[in-house]
Every structure is written in structure tokens, then in C-alpha cells.
Structure 1
Amino acid sequence: MYTVGPVFKEMNTDTHLTVRAKYLEQNLGIPAEQYRMTCKQQEEQLAKFRQYDEVVLWFEHDLFDQTMLCYLLSFFAHQDLGNTKLNLLTIGEFPGIERFRGLGQLTTEQLLTLSGTWQLVSSKELQLGDALWKAYASRDLDELRQLLDGDTSALPFAKEAYLAYLSRLSSEPDGIGSVEQEVMKEIAAGEHSPDGLFRKVGNTLHQLGLGDLEFWYVLRTMAERSQPLIMLEGVEDFKTDTTGGASFKNASISLTKAGLSRV
């Protein structure tokens, strides 16, 4: 879930894992110990890759997936692959699906048509993924922009995904980026439910691959600013409900005077 919270060039150290776990627990409600345990299990499994003749990376086009992909490519870029073949399948559309959001939309039969269509990962993918991850993790926006201005064809969806990330960052001191702007736009257009906003904003900004916990966090930060942009009615525990519980999802969201001035 590298689109939220602090990330580091090396994600598997105890110190970095603790920092992330604490952040995600405080802001998204993910239990810190559960997060740490899951990450360690994943890293242990990743370290066993040489036990397999073939490893296939399946990833979608959005930022949520592309950050994970680049992290893995950065990892593999510094490994001796031995006799293990490393392959990549990454797609941004599928025949018959008008609005492709991800592999989870596909049936078993549709997924089977993708089997074997992956390509062997070359040094180009490894080098670009490594460079993108390092720039992203270090938050060196100038380096990231330079990479995106160059040849990113080795990873065909990386450029649009990371451009969406840059647009999400605010160039203004008040911290309003593309997600906050789209939330206010949809509220002004008449959408007042958290679930409705999540669906509509997610469809518009599909390159981000927004998750629900991440989106609830955005709404909370918009409501808890020194000059709130939105206000919620029908919910009492908004400031402590980090997981978008039933009371939160039944709330009605409207724009404050400050929010109206930004639409």
C-alpha cells in the first residue's frame, strides 16, 4: 500500500516497518502488529524466489499497483536471479470491459486468456523500476520528473501513474491536490454520500487506484483542517472512525464556506 504513508528505498528493515506500521494504524486503522506480521511473511516469501523455476509479476496500470511493481523490480534489480525466470504481465485494459479498473474485475475464464502472455523481464525494466522506486521513496520530485520526461517505454503504465501521483500533490501551501479538488467538485454537483464520492472520485482519478481506507483518510483530513473544506452530518465518531464504519458511511457530506470558495 505504498501510495499511503512513508516509504523507503529499503522497506524490510525493522525501523522502516515500525514507522510505516505506526502511521497506518494511526491514520487508516490498520493494526500495527498485523501489518508488521503480514509484511514480514511477504518478505520471507519473496526471499525464497530462487526456489521457483519461474516468477510472474501480475500488475495493473494504476499508481497503487505501479508503486508495488517498481518496489519489486528494485528488489530484483539487486538480486542474482540464478535459474529463475522473471516475467511481467501488466495491463490497463481488457476486451469487452469499458472501464477497466483492475484484474479483480475479470472472471476465471478471462484471467486464463492472459496466462502465458507475459514477457521476460529485461535489464531495462529492472533499471527503470529501480530508478522510479528510489526517486519515489526519497520524495525527490525533480528526479522523478526527469525520469518521467525520459524514456519510460519499458514500463508502459508507469508514466501516467506517477504523473497522477504528482497531480495529487498540492503545489499550494494549503495542501489541496487533485483528490481534494475532485471531492469538492462532486459534492458541488450533488453527491453527498461517502460511498458515492468514493465511487465517482475513484472513477475519475482511476490512475491513482484509490482504496477505500485511503479515501476515508482524505475525507477526514479535509474535515479536520484548521479551515475545514467539508463537514459531515449524521456521524459522531468521525475523528476516531478510521475504517469507514457504518455510521460514517451513512453520513451526509457538504461543503463548508472555505470549500465552496475553492470549487
Structure 2
Amino acid sequence: MLHIVNGDAVAETLQQGVVQGELLVWREVYPEGPVFREAVEPSHRLVRAKYLEKAMGIPEEDFIRSSEAQELQLARFREYEDIVLWFEHDLFDQTMLSYLLHWFARQSLGQTRLHLLCIGDYPGVDLFRGLGQLSASQLKTLSGTWHAVEEDELKLGSAVWEAYTSPDPKDLQQLLREDTSALPFVKEAFGLHLSRYPSTDNGLGIIEQLTLEHIDSGICSPIELFRQTGNQLHGLGMGDLQYWHVLSSMCEGKSPLLKLEGAKAFPGFVQPSADFQASRLVMTEWGTRVLRGEDHVERCGIDRWYGGVHLHGRHAAWRWDVEAKALVDCRE
């Protein structure tokens, strides 16, 4: 039996006698950077590796080596009678799950049986952030509760991956208007993804908007901001490296929204230093103006990837209408 899991913390706990068989930790951050339908294409992998090193400090060579290794192990799936996918409700996991379902949908499974365990809560956990929160005894109660993956799940997972990696965001928005009940967490997770696009109000995505609001309310510690924003947007499954990249971007450019005081930079692929833990963020005069309604993209431009969509320039082609909860085509 092979268990494909969403993180090292889960794998380490499962190894404490929770399950039998081998483990494959799927290490990816599909909500960040350019994402391609054919992710295994070497040229596509290299583009992602270069982006993730620059944006999040993940060494290019390490990323490529890890990606190639996990793909090689995945390709050996016929060696196992049963494969179990362990995932959860948030965008971080739903992107991984859709990729794997897309991959398996194009394989001949033969005698291998594919199973899925995907949850959005756990009894007694008030704010369920993910499987990594659970103890060995808690995970043991989930062992064996997985179900056989059906054709409709493979079909929908494949469609979600293709829509997410499409350069046209209308593909994903249209898919989310259809019946996605075969994968019950898709609609909320990818709907939250769309809210990361620059808004029609001021050009900020939901993460940047909430960050400014929290700072305006008096929260200035980056670590506390990560906790507060992460809890409020737990449906993103956003990790600390992702959030440090957001904050770093907000501190850059000719008209930064924020200024970091007490530390030279945000952490990369390392633990936060002592000076960072004591640092604080201050909203700039421009940040205050944007929070009050001036448009950040019109003044500063944008260069950001949303799955397969690349927005760049001073006039974002797509905006998120907060009230309508829909993307707006600004080219029309």
C-alpha cells in the first residue's frame, strides 16, 4: 500500500504505527507562481523552480530534485495494490489533489485500487487547519475511512486542474458555476483562490487587503499578522513562506504599501531570525491611501501568477469584484 500525503508533518505522524505501507510526501506549492497543465515538462519545471527560488527562497536545485524524485515514485504506482490519497479542504491541498487526480485519470490503473481520504473538519478541533494538527491517535481514527475513487471524481479533478492551469481564468470561474459536488471542497477552495486577484475596489487581493486592515487595527508583528490572517483565510492553507512573500512584495517598489522595521528582510527557506521575530510592519502613507480606496495596480502595476494566469502591467486584465464575488474582464 502507498499513502500519498500532503506534508512531512502528516507523514511523520502516520509513521507512528498509524498505517502500514510506504509513504510519499507530495511536496509542492501550486497556489504560488506559474503552474502548467503538463507540470512534468522539464522546461515548465525549470520555470517554476526559478520563480520559487526568487519568491520564497526554495533552492532551485532542491526543488527540481524533489519534483523529479516524487514523480518517479508516482510512476511506480502499479507496484502497489492500493494507493490512498490523504488531503484536506484548503486550496493548498485541493490544488495537489486535482493534479494527482488529473495524473491518475490518464493512467491505466490495472490491478491498483485508488482511494481518497479528504476532510474539512475533525471532532473537537474548533479551527481545523489540516491533517498536520492531528495526533497519531486522531489520525488512527481516520485510517480505513477512505473510499474508492470513482470516475466522476477523476473526471472533475482533471477538469479542475486543467481550468486552474489555463491562461484564461474564465475556464475556472465557469467550472465553479457547475456541479462540483463530486469533490465537495473544490468550490470554496478555488473560489477563495479567485479572491486573490486584484480587486475592482483598490487593486489588492484578499490577502493584502486583510493584512492592511489588521495593521490599521494595530497589529504590527509579522508573526502575529500571519497567525491572524492565516486563521481568517484558513481555506487557503497558506504557509509562512507564502505569507512572507506577500509581505515582502508589499514592502517593495517605488510606492510600497508597508515598511519592515527591526529586520533587514523576511525569512526565506530558513527559520526566522531573532531580529525578525521582534520586527514590526508599518503602513506607509500610500498604503493608507490604498486602504481608503486608491488603486494600487493603476499606480504601481502588477506582475503576478494566479495558477496559469499571468497578470502584468498597469492595467490588470482581470479583477475580482468583491460584492459580486466574480471575476471581471477589464479588457472589455
Indicate whether the TM-score tops 0.5. yes
Cα drift, residue 139 of structure 1: 3.5
Map of 1:131 onto structure 2? 159
Cα drift, residue 227 of structure 1: 1.4
Map of 1:7 onto structure 2? 35
Matched letter for residue 70 of structure 1 = S
Match of 1:54 among 71, 82, 85: 82
Alignment partner of 1:245 is 2:283: no
Task: Report the Cα distance in structure 2 between the residues aligned to 1:62 and 1:140, rounded to whole angstroms.
Answer: 22
Alignment partner of 1:21 is 2:49: yes
| Cα deviation code 1:89-117 (max 9, x no counterpart) | 10000000000000011111110111111
Q: Which has the higher strand share?
A: 2
Are residues 237 and 177 of structure 1, via their aligned partners in 2, closer, same or farther at CA, if it must alter by over 3 Å? Answer: closer
Query: Unaligned regions of 5+ residues in structure 2, if any?
Result: 1-28, 292-332
- Percent identity for Structure 1 against Structure 2: 51
Match of 1:103 among 110, 117, 131: 131
For residues 227-238 of structure 1, the aligned pairs below 5 Å read: 227-237=255-265
Task: Report the Cα distance in structure 2 between the residues aligned to 1:260 and 1:47, rounded to whole angstroms.
Answer: 51
Task: Report the Cα distance in structure 1 between the residues aligned to 2:217 and 2:201, rounded to whole angstroms.
Answer: 26
Match of 2:59 among 31, 36, 40: 31
Alignment partner of 1:82 is 2:110: yes
Q: Any idea what SS the aligned residue of 1:236 has?
A: coil
Query: Unaligned regions of 5+ residues in structure 1, if any?
Result: none
Question: TM (normalized to structure 2)?
Answer: 0.76
Task: Report the Cα distance in structure 2 between the residues aligned to 1:172 and 1:248, rounded to whole angstroms.
Answer: 33
Matched letter for residue 164 of structure 1 = L
Q: Any idea what SS the aligned residue of 2:256 has?
A: coil
Task: Report the Cα distance in structure 2 between the residues aligned to 1:91 and 1:237, rounded to whole angstroms.
Answer: 36
Matched letter for residue 108 of structure 2 = D
Question: TM (normalized to structure 1)?
Answer: 0.95
Task: Report the Cα distance in structure 1 between the residues aligned to 2:259 and 2:231, rounded to whole angstroms.
Answer: 23
Contact kept, 8 Å, 2:202 with 2:290, in 1: the verdict is no
| Cα deviation code 1:28-75 (max 9, x no counterpart) | 100100110000010000001111000000101000000000000000
For residues 42-191 of structure 1, the aligned pairs below 5 Å read: 42-172=70-200, 175-191=203-219
What's the RMSD between the two structures over aligned residues? 1.4
Cα drift, residue 190 of structure 1: 1.2
Cα drift, residue 245 of structure 1: 3.2
Cα drift, residue 232 of structure 1: 1.2
Q: Which has the higher helix share?
A: 1
Cα drift, residue 175 of structure 1: 4.3
